[in-house]
């Protein structure tokens, strides 16, 4: 019988014993906690399970996704709820966007003090602060590429003392890039041409014969 070691974690002010080498989400299951909220894909792609944690002796707390962060001895855990603020309605402009387009819908961008808290908080390791500065300069295509891996977890907004919501601006930049700077999927187009030219006909026929003579 294999007996795993236990660690003590603190959840909402209460201490609990859980097995080591499991994620925070798995620890919640171990404790029988209901997880109707703060849970999603379990793969770090949806941004639903945002947490703030602190270890004993650690001066600054850490932010991250509970499905990706492992428990540790003395870990203090608090789950964060989603951004409750009203979402800005930012329609696509009729003409190619500029920095004024950004300021029209996200005027709070100008309040950025370049503290870097958003970049530190991002579980995807995105240089969020650089993205905000690029938005201010109107480099929307660059911003769209930078925020490609954003999972909209809200952590950048949660830690911003200037009340900027970078993840929403990043999503808007991606919409603008798709509308005004579309890139052709060259690999997909090449593969479609190869299929149309019957390049894989023989290989496909061989695949279709597999199992027929068994």
Contact present, 131 and 102 (Cβ < 8 Å): no
Residue 199 in 3-state DSSP?
A: coil
Confidence grade of residue 54 (pLDDT, cut at 50, 70, 90):
very high
pLDDT, averaged across the chain: 87
Tell whether 105 and 164 lie within a shared domain. yes
pLDDT of residue 192 exceeding 80: yes
Q: What is the pLDDT of residue 1?
A: 43
Q: Considering the domain boundaries, does residue 89 fall inside one?
A: no
Of 79, 108, 131, the position where a domain reaches its end is 79
What is the distance between the alpha carbons of residues 192 and 179, in angstroms, rounded to a whole number?
23
Structural domain total, the chain:
2
Q: Taking residues 77-85, what's their average pLDDT?
A: 77
Q: Taking residues 76-105, what's their average pLDDT?
A: 79
Q: What is the pLDDT of residue 209?
A: 84
Tell whether 70 and 21 lie within a shared domain. yes
Residues 6+ apart with CB under 8 A from 131: 143, 146, 147, 166, 169, 170, 173
Q: What is the pLDDT of residue 82?
A: 67
Residue 7 belongs to what H/E stretch? strand 6-11
pLDDT of residue 65 exceeding 60: yes
As a whole-number percent, the residues of the chain with pLDDT over 70 amount to 94
pLDDT of residue 102 exceeding 90: no
DSSP 51-81: EEEE-TT-SS-EEEETTTPBP-TT-EEEE--
Beta bridge partners, 79, equal: 51
Of 49, 79, 109, the position where a domain reaches its end is 79
pLDDT in tens, 123-177: 999 999 999 999 999 888 899 999 999 998 989 998 999 999 999 999 998 888 8
Tell whether 68 and 117 lie within a shared domain. no
State the residue range of the domain holding 24: 6-79
Contact present, 163 and 111 (Cβ < 8 Å): yes
Of 79, 110, 142, the position where a domain reaches its end is 79
What is the distance between the alpha carbons of residues 173 and 163, in angstroms, rounded to a whole number?
19
Taking the model in full, what pTM does it have? 0.71
Confidence grade of residue 86 (pLDDT, cut at 50, 70, 90):
low
Spacing of C-alpha 166 from chain mean position:
12
Structure token pair of residue 184: 């052709």
Nearest to 64 by CA among 162, 171, 172, 159: 159
Contact present, 53 and 62 (Cβ < 8 Å): yes
Lowest mean pLDDT among 38-42, 91-95, 135-139, 145-149: 91-95
Contact present, 135 and 106 (Cβ < 8 Å): yes
Q: Considering the domain boundaries, does residue 48 fall inside one?
A: yes
pLDDT of residue 114 exceeding 90: yes
Tell whether 10 and 65 lie within a shared domain. yes
Q: What is the pLDDT of residue 40?
A: 84
Q: Considering the domain boundaries, does residue 56 fall inside one?
A: yes
Q: pLDDT: is 124 or 81 the higher one?
A: 124
């Amino acid at each position: 019988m294999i007996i795993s070691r236990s660690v003590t974690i603190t959840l909402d002010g209460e201490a609990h014993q859980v097995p080591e080498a499991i994620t925070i989400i798995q620890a919640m299951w171990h404790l029988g906690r209901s997880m109707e909220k703060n849970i999603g894909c379990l793969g770090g792609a949806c941004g639903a399970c945002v947490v703030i944690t602190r270890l004993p002796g650690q001066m600054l707390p850490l932010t991250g996704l509970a499905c990706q962060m492992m428990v540790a001895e003395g870990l203090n855990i608090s789950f964060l709820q989603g951004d409750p603020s009203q979402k800005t309605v930012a329609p696509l402009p009729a003409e190619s966007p500029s920095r004024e387009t950004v300021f029209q819908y996200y005027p709070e961008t100008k309040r950025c003090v370049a503290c870097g808290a958003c970049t530190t908080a991002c579980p995807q390791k995105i240089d969020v602060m650089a993205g905000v500065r690029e938005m201010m300069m109107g480099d929307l295509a660059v911003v769209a590429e930078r925020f490609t891996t954003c999972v909209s977890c809200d952590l950048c907004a949660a830690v911003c003392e200037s009340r900027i919501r970078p993840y929403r601006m990043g999503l808007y930049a991606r919409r603008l890039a798709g509308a005004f700077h579309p890139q052709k999927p060259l690999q997909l187009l090449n593969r479609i041409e190869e299929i149309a030219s019957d390049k894989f006909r023989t290989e496909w026929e061989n695949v279709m014969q597999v199992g027929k003579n068994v």
